[in-house]
Structure 1
Amino acid sequence: MSLALKQVFNKDRTFRPKRRFEPGTQRFELHKKAQASLNAGLDLKLAVQLPHGEDLNDWVAVHVVDFFNRINLIYGTISDSCTDQTCPVMSGGPKYEYRWQDEQRYKRPTALPAPTYMSLLMDWIEMQINNEQIFPTNVGTPFPKSFFQVAKKILSRLFRVFVHVYIHHFDRVSQMGAEAHVNTCYKHFYYFVTEFNLIDHKELEPLKEMTSRMCR
């Protein structure tokens, strides 16, 4: 991790990892296994594959939480340059605009400044992953039938953070020396969601050219 990312991580600010796996649990062991694969320099395409004998729901749950933590942190590195003035609409270039919708305040898709969108998004994801009915932490507690649907929605929305960061704030990422870290995180994310078909191909369009260069 670059010094810039460590500094953001150490600051007491909104954008920081919010969910940990409890030591001794099956999920913690899976998380360690996933991290060990990455640390061993294993090819990212291989590292995302479901380990033999493991449950797919568990594997997806571990990665959803991990990607949330990491992407949250990446946005934290550029959040000071993403303001209502610089980014009055949550977008990915002129062709793609993302509108926010939830079940409480914004019942219809609503155009919002990027920082507001990001804040609502991170709060919404945190609510999902801390909900025992959706992300059960006890071994033996079954996942709900809707789990994959929720996981896909979380990952699709997290992908939009990458789109916004790459298209509107990558100069800031480079300036902070975090380019390699962000690229590795993106490749890991991309290989994971495509391995298990977790994001619709239409959603991936905004970064299609960059992805084809980066993830040959």
Structure 2
Amino acid sequence: ACVYMLGKVLAKTAVFGINNNNQEECPYLQRQNACQRITDANMFALISLPPGMDKAEWLASNTVAFFKHINLFSSALSEFCTPSTCPTACGPGNMVYFWTDDHGRKLKCSAPLYFDYAMSYIQELLTDEDVFPTKAGATFPTGFIFLVQKVFLLLLRTLAHIYWSHYSEVLALDLHPHLNTLFSHLTLFCQQHSLLEPEDMKPLQDLITALERHG
């Protein structure tokens, strides 16, 4: 599970510029930014299934922990992510994220609306005892892994949007070490437990490579 905590974000009076996507040279790929972390913990030790522990329980506990940390982090930047600054939910390479509603329709919506949908969906799942049981001896449902995969895809997109559209604010708030640590932990965990498809990771490969190289 996540062993680091997001530091308290101090209020800033400066007005930050509009999102920094479409820049030719992404600042989050630059060495002086990509090398920053808030912990030197062995990530591979953190992501490995502990001996004797049920894998579903391990995935469940980490899903809850990642959600709490990423929801907290994104909340710290919510005032900068508005329908006017982010009319579409997008990530690196201007990859647009569409929300699929209960009827299977794909909706193109603003970033704050998309990620509000995402966090509400995850919160509802995590508090459903039939999906994420908390009672001793309870069993996880059939198809649990597919629900976990969907949660991690939404969490990945949340961080991807922050890197792509709000990295200038992240730098101004000195939160890039937290963001790098969260993202590295998330992607390593997903790779270790096969939670994301290669096509989901492909648009972020430059970032993953930069963090691995400079971490």
Q: TM-score, normalised by structure 1?
A: 0.80
State the alpha-carbon separation in 1 of the partners of residues 138 and 7 from structure 2.
38
1:190–1:93 CA distance, 2 compared to 1 (3 A): closer
- Spell out structure 1 runs of 4+ moving beyond 6 A: none
Instruction: Mark the runs of 5 or more structure 2 residues left unpaired by the alignment.
Output: 1-5, 12-37
1:132 matched to 2:129: yes
State yes or no: 1:74 paired with 2:79: no
Separation in 1, partners of 2:186, 2:205: 14
- Structure 1: where are the runs of 5+ without partners? 8-38
Does the 8 Å CA contact 1:65/1:129 hold for their aligned counterparts?
A: yes
Q: State the distance in 2 between where 1:176 and 1:196 align.
A: 32
CA distance in 2, matches of 1:139, 1:172: 43
Which residue in 2 is equivalent to 1:101?
100
- Whether the 8 Å contact between 2:92 and 2:204 is mirrored in structure 1 is no
Tell me if structure 2 keeps the 8 A contact 1:77–1:173: no
Q: Aligned-pair distance for 1:102?
A: 2.8
Mapped partners of 2:74, 2:94: distance in 1: 21
- The corresponding residue for 1:3 is 8
Q: Does 1:173 align with 2:170?
A: yes
Residue pair 2:101, 2:107 contacting (<8 A) in 1 also: no
Whole-angstrom distance in 1 between the partners of 2:47 and 2:72 = 21
Distance 1:180 1:138, change over 3 A: same
Give the aligned CA root-mean-square deviation in angstroms. Answer: 1.8
With 93-102 and 65-74 compared, the bigger mean Cα shift is at 93-102
1:1-216 superposed matches below 5 A = 1-4=6-9, 41-103=40-102, 107-216=104-213
Q: 1:41 to 1:112 in 2, by over 3 A?
A: same
